[in-house]
Amino acid sequence: MAYDTAQKTDAESVVPEEYGGMWFLKDHLDTEELGFTVLELEPGAKGKEHDHGEDGQEEVYYVVDGVVDVEVGDETVTLEAEEAIRLDAGESRQIFNRGEERAKLVLAGAPL
């Protein structure tokens, strides 16, 4: 087949509902070289601090709704709706929702 479709609800969230939700759609979209994730963070919630130095995966975070802070190394980058950031594989990063509304993001990473 030349395409695959998926809905966020096709995947089970790996984050407890009280913090928002995180849905990995790679398997549902049958991607081979691209990770694709939907992340929602409630006010006060944060993502896991991590990097991809071992696997070489760069990531792009796109904010659909809300405002988030992305701590990249020693810097904090604030992103609002319709803004994106690209992150080098080896750079430590963590997402925070310090706002007052639920934040919704799309995360893409490659290569896998």
User: What's the rounded mean pLDDT across residues 89-109?
Assistant: 97
pLDDT confidence bin for 73, thresholds 50/70/90? very high
Q: How far apart are CA 106 and CA 2, in angstroms?
A: 23
CA dihedral angle for residue 83, residue 56, residue 38, residue 22, rounded to 10 degrees:
-130
Provide the pLDDT for residue 76: 98
pLDDT in tens, 15-36: 999 999 999 999 999 999 999 9
Provide the pLDDT for residue 1: 65
For the chain, give every domain's residue range: 54-97
**AA letter at 80:** E
Q: How far apart are CA 25 and CA 70, in angstroms?
A: 22
pLDDT at 112 over 90: no
User: What's the rounded mean pLDDT across residues 49-56?
Assistant: 95
Q: How far apart are CA 81 and CA 86, in angstroms?
A: 15
